[in-house]
Structure 1
Amino acid sequence: MDSARVGTAPFLLNTVGSAMAGSPLAFSHRGFAPDGAENTLKAFAAAHDLGFGYLETDVRATRDGVLVVFHDEDLARLAGEKRKLADCTMAELSGLRIAGEPIPTFDELLRAFPQAHFNVDVKDAASAALLADAIAGHDAHSRVLVASFGGRRRRKVQHLLAREGLPGPAVAASPGVMGTAAAVLLAKLGPPRLPRAAFRELAALQVPERRGPVRVVTPRFISKAHAAGLQVHVWVVNGESDMHRLLEMGVDGLMSDRADTLARVMAERGCWPQNGHAG
């Protein structure tokens, strides 16, 4: 692959003619939270201060229809409560703390980091319409990539935004479990390139390096994805040697819980910082 990364979505600032053309992207997974305050404004501020312009996060809907930044289905691990987040109102959540930090809304996140790009995992069905509204309300189409293990949620966000009549894909996206499985199977057994029509709504394949006994990310997988105009982003990569190895293999982005380690690796490769570019 040449120095300009594949992909056409405005979200991807490492494409031809973009601000970081030719550089791999670094994603801070749920911010940088060595104190456990994941997915909080404090965690995202810490990642931004390290130089991250791409922040991975998760969204869920409260019982009264507020889109909040939170990963787990229930509150037990992070807030010490047995309730499910979907059973709580925003007022009830406002009294809880994650390692001393409040649970933010997605609106707060977009306002707090107006230049940041957000890789958003849609965790429940109720979040899809709320996320589409937030993207449209903040005019954040170029700053958000929509992902979800459930492809139906991702498609709903894209289809709702497409009703605005915008040209081309309304927002960047990565496939769910079934779409990823199809891409892996086609890369292993199919024609020389992935059929672009089957992945026309997508900007990237965001995948683990392995899924059980199956190695997902291989030179062949990357080559076929690139031939179809798709970037390959790998999650969650925390070891420094693994980061270097995957970047040498030709992946277009890495997500990590170890934001400090990934920042150092990117700096060593001359791709840092990445937080000074607007979408």
Structure 2
Amino acid sequence: MEREKSYAVYLKRGCIAVLKVEVFFKLIAFFVIGPLLDWAFTTWVLGDIPVFNEAMFLSILSPVSLVLAVIIFLAVALWCYYEISCLITAVYLGRMREKLSLEDILKSSKEAMKGMRHFSLPLSAIYFVLFLPLVHAGYLNSLVPKVDIPRFVVGELQRTSMGNLGIRAIQAGYIVVFLILLLVPFAMVLKRESFPKAVKQNFIWYRQFSWKDRFLLWAIFIFWILLENWILDSLQGKLIQDQDFNLSVLKYFLRSHTYRVGLACWIVLALIQCVAIVLVFLWITRLLDKYKALPYLPEQAGGKEGLKKGLPAKAGKERRIARLCKKIWSSRSSKKIWAGMLLIAIAAAATDYFNEAPLMHEPWAIGHRGCIFEAENTIAAVERASGLGADYAEIDVQLSKDGVPMVIHDEDLQRLADMPEKVENLTADQLQELTVISNGEKGKIPTFQEMVEAVKNTKDKTGLLVELKPTAENRDELVSKIIETVEKCNAKNQCIFMSLDYESVYQLQAEHPEWWIGYCIYGGVGKMEDAVWEYNIDFLAVEEGLASNKFMEKARNSGLAVYIWTSNNFDDMENYLEMGASGIITDLPDLARDTIDRYMKDHQEYYAYDGKGYPKKKN
């Protein structure tokens, strides 16, 4: 009974201490360290030049940029490790002390930084910044809360059984490695050891544990991983992202119902994680104590005397400033003037703060590669999407060997036709002879002209969102053939265009500035607000992992429509619409149609263009 009582006391102390630590680190990460590191990376590494897609990986390859990027990465690692050391220290000291201040935890944890002053720092950085957030169990931090395999990669792999198997194998692999190195952070924090020595100490502890205790410890973390994945799946589309904590948080909160729901869910999940951290860390410390392996850690409660010494001088300065301010404010001649100026400043700031630019047009339902109910990128898939209420159907176009624009996504035919040949190495006739299989359905590869003619005959005149997929050698030819086909079929009002290749976008825009042309983005680094002025585009099509209130606000204020791909969840779609999305690119156009129709009934928005189709521009 006494043991249960002491454990309950430890749990209460630990929860209070961990909550203090998490509030402190989250505020610092969201509003200080995060923006500072982002500024440093953008200014020093990128040189204030925003880059997107594959250019992201090439932007830091110069020697100077690479060195600066490594320095920033190491700085991130030190901060992530410091937060984890504070969490471990908070639970550890909570076992010994009734009252534990944040100052005590922060000071005691500084000693643990000795383990990072070692030649193995780069290895430690990879472990704390990339690996632990990838698993996201137990050792959490606020600066890099979670690392995921990019959605655009996972999405493509999930379209095949082998891809799904590969994803599961990768996940199982890094979870196994995580369990093998499970006690490394405890060794680094409690024994003040470097990463290599901590790995060695980790295995020493494991050898001391019985098999029962070892498996029980692993089972606890596996349960954490499974439970959190279930919670995240249940809250899909409801949670807000960490970048949504910025100076516009009040505006998001007042404007968006989904933001308020997401914030509430985020807070509840954060509290659950705090309790889970305490429970798990208490279990580990008790386990180490059981085998007489728990290191002695000085309480490090000192330091208050130094603080007291500086108080009188500081207080004296504050009193002098306060007297001066009071004297100025109390002056009758200036009191009304100061009050009026203050009110004007507040009103001006509030007006600017809550002012929003209009959205470009009413939101569209856009079928991704047609829809999921037929073989992708086939005429049947587009016609089905039209029947399900899609405003546009997104298709992918690339050139055949003989220069014919063909509607197909992959560069090769391995996934769709079980052939290793590349599309650019086969003629149009050879491609059209093939039978492709996707979404459990069979179909034929159409030419772009056949697809355009087919949509012109759809009942609701569904449009095409044409994604150009050129190679470096055939970019000019592809752009030219697309223009030729659209003009030949008189389909300029039924087609809009985009590409991951900005050169194709630029050429198309130069030839036909009156067409609706956008840039497709799956990732980017640098200042988005600079990019939207630099690129000559009408809209952005962004991978849904990039969609946040902050991102959408920047695009909206710059007069750009944003279409988000590939969203197949009702909650996600609703959230994106409240953020200001002008289109949802989805495998399920019927769900998007229903979500948009519901949204339009319940929301009143001001649109710069309220006609049918896309906003017309002068030739």
- Normalising by structure 2, we get a TM-score of 0.36
- 1:222 Cα deviation after fit: 2.0
Matching of residues 159-198 of structure 1 within 5 Å = 159=510, 161-162=511-512, 169-177=513-521, 181=524, 185-187=527-529, 196=533, 198=534
Distance of 1:269 and 1:79 partners within structure 2 = 40
Distance 1:185 1:173 in 2: 21
Q: Does structure 1 conserve the Cα–Cα contact (< 8 Å) formed by 2:412 and 2:422?
A: yes
Residue deviations 1:135-162, cap 9 Å, x none?
2222323322221111112222233x34
Instruction: Tell me whether 1:28 sits opposite 2:367 in the alignment.
Output: yes
Verify the 8 A CA contact 1:173 1:203 in the aligned structure 2.
Answer: yes
Please say if 1:73 is aligned against 2:427. no
Shift of 1:171: 1.8
Distance 2:567 2:576 in 1: 9
Deviations 1:4-59 (A, max 9, x none): 632xxxxxxx3xxxxxxxx3111100011335x00000101110010112111100
1:87 counterpart = 2:425: yes
Query: Structure 1's 247 and 98: CA in aligned 2 closer, same or farther, altered over 3 A?
Result: same
1:213 equivalent in structure 2: none
Distance 1:176 1:239 in 2: 21
Q: Secondary structure at the match of 1:146?
A: strand
* Aligned-residue offset at 1:240: 1.2
Q: Are residue 60 (structure 1) and residue 423 (structure 2) matched?
A: no
* Shift of residue 209, structure 1, vs aligned partner: 2.7
Structure 1's 47 and 251: CA in aligned 2 closer, same or farther, altered over 3 A? Answer: same
Q: For residues 110-130 of structure 1, give each alpha carbon's deviation from its aligned partner in whole angstroms, at most 9, with x where no partner exists.
A: 111122221111111242221
TM-aligned CA deviation for residue 226 of structure 1 = 2.0
Q: Is this contact kept in 2: 1:116–1:278, CA < 8 A?
A: no
- Quick check: 1:205 aligned with 2:540? yes
In the alignment, is residue 130 of structure 1 matched against residue 481 of structure 2?
A: yes
Structure 1: 5+ residue stretches without partners: 7-13, 15-22, 163-168, 211-215, 272-276
- Percent identity over paired residues: 27
Q: CA RMSD in A?
A: 2.5
Equivalent residues of 2:574, 2:599 under 8 A apart: no
Aligned mates of 2:371, 2:467 — CA distance in 1? 17
Match status 1:5 vs 2:359: yes
Per the normalisation by structure 1, the TM-score is: 0.76
Which has the larger share of helix? 2
Is 1:153 the counterpart of 2:497 in the alignment?
no
Cα drift, residue 3 of structure 1: 11
Equivalents in 1 of 2:451, 2:482: separation in Å?
Answer: 12
Query: 5+ residue gaps in structure 2?
Result: 1-354, 602-611, 615-619
Q: 1:176 Cα deviation (Å)?
A: 4.9
Contact 1:132 1:158 in 2 (8 A): no
Alpha-carbon shift at residue 270 of structure 1 (Å): 4.6
Change (3 A) 1:176 1:242: closer
Q: Contact 1:58/1:120 (CA < 8 Å) preserved in 2? A: yes
SS in 1 for 2:562: strand
**1:278 Cα offset (Å):** 6.3
Preserved CA contact (<8 Å) 2:486 2:492: yes
Tell me the CA shift for residue 195 of structure 1.
Answer: 6.0
Which residue of the other structure, out of 557, 579, 584, is the alignment partner of 1:249? 579
- The number of residues matched between the two structures is 237
Give the aligned partner of residue 110 of structure 1: 452
Q: Give 4+ residue runs of structure 1 displaced > 6 Å after superposition.
A: 1-4
Task: Give the whole-Å Cα distance in 2 for the aligned partners of 1:53 and 1:251.
Answer: 15
Paired AA for residue 202 in structure 1: I
Higher strand share: 1
CA contact (8 A) 1:131 1:157 kept: no
